Amino acid sequence: MHNADTRSFELRHLSPGHDLHLHVLEGSELFCRHGPLEITAPQQAWADGVPAPALRLQPGQGWRAGADLQIRVRSLSQAMASLELRQSPTAKSRIASEEGMRPRAWSVAGWLRGFRRGQRAA
């Protein structure tokens, strides 16, 4: 999961008992550097009506997001914990390509609207 490429990463520190709320994109990776961490995706639990499953990471372990998520990261140690977040370049390019497709979607929607008018007149 962890490779030595040149992608930039964000280093975050967590005080004991504090939560960190993050938005991670599909394919992004989170690595535990110091202290055990607990990751939960609260909105997923609320939507399903079941308790949020918790993932525990020990130092040196990582996790990759399977979808765009809002997550909560909590330090489980009595000392300062730290994590490394690497946003996925594929997710960034996917977002850029979706933004580039929006005008085309509007033109297709306009074409369909014109098509429906033609059907009503016939």
pLDDT in tens, 1-44: 444 444 578 899 999 888 999 998 889 999 999 999 999 987 65
CB under 8 Å to 111, separation ≥6 — which residues? none
pLDDT digits (tens, 9 = 90+) for 64-74: 998 888 899 99
Domain boundaries in the chain? 7-87, 89-122
pLDDT digits (tens, 9 = 90+) for 73-122: 999 988 899 999 998 776 555 555 555 555 544 444 444 444 444 444 44
Q: What pLDDT is attached to residue 101?
A: 54
CB of 25 closer than 8 Å to CB of 87: yes
Tell which CATH architecture fits domain 7-87: Sandwich (2.60)
